[in-house]
Amino acid sequence: MSSLGEIIIEFNANLKQTGLSLIDDSQLSLNLSPEDGRDTVEGFNRTSLAFVWSVKSIQENILTIQVDFENPDLISPSIYLQDKMMITFNQTNLLINPELSTYTELETKEITLQVKKQLASNNTTKSFSKGTENANTALLWCLIASISLNFLFADGGTDYIT
């Protein structure tokens, strides 16, 4: 789960192409579990972990879910206390077998994910997150270019005598 509440699930077969609004609690259940028993601490309010979710996209074998927390700053409050999100597939015939044009049963009916510290979902946070992704991509390309140039100009340790 990203720090902006995005969950990307990749399946080994294509998904049924149902309308995004048709995937709801009858097919998927999401449940947030507070880590390390922090929900037993005096003064803990379970409703502070409230969230809503929706399916953002379905593309072939990838399901993207957007989770929006009411109080994102209270989710996974530290690097040592990371909450868990449990995703349960209530309907098990979400996958299509392309060779047989039939539905395939899911092998796993539940997924548990560590939830990163959540950021408020506003334009500033989204811009910062996108900028960080772009910087990571640029640094990766610089690394690839540097390695390629080193490889290209390496002489293999051969000394040339003229």
pLDDT of residue 143: 84
- Residues 139, 132 contacting (CB under 8 angstroms): no
User: Rounded CA gap, 15 and 61, in Å?
Assistant: 5
Confidence bin at 137 (pLDDT 50/70/90): confident
89 token code pair: 């597939």
Q: Tell me if the pTM is above 0.75.
A: no
pLDDT of residue 142: 86
Percent of the chain, pLDDT > 90? Answer: 13
pLDDT digits (tens, 9 = 90+) for 19-37: 555 676 777 889 998 887 7
When pLDDT is averaged across residues 84-107 and rounded to a whole number, the result is 69
Confidence bin at 69 (pLDDT 50/70/90): very high
Q: What does pLDDT average to over the chain?
A: 78
Higher pLDDT, 92 or 86: 86
Q: Which long-range contacts (CB under 8 A, 24 or more apart) does 16-21 make?
A: 16/93, 16/94, 16/95, 16/96, 16/103, 17/58, 18/58, 20/54, 20/55, 20/56, 20/57, 20/58
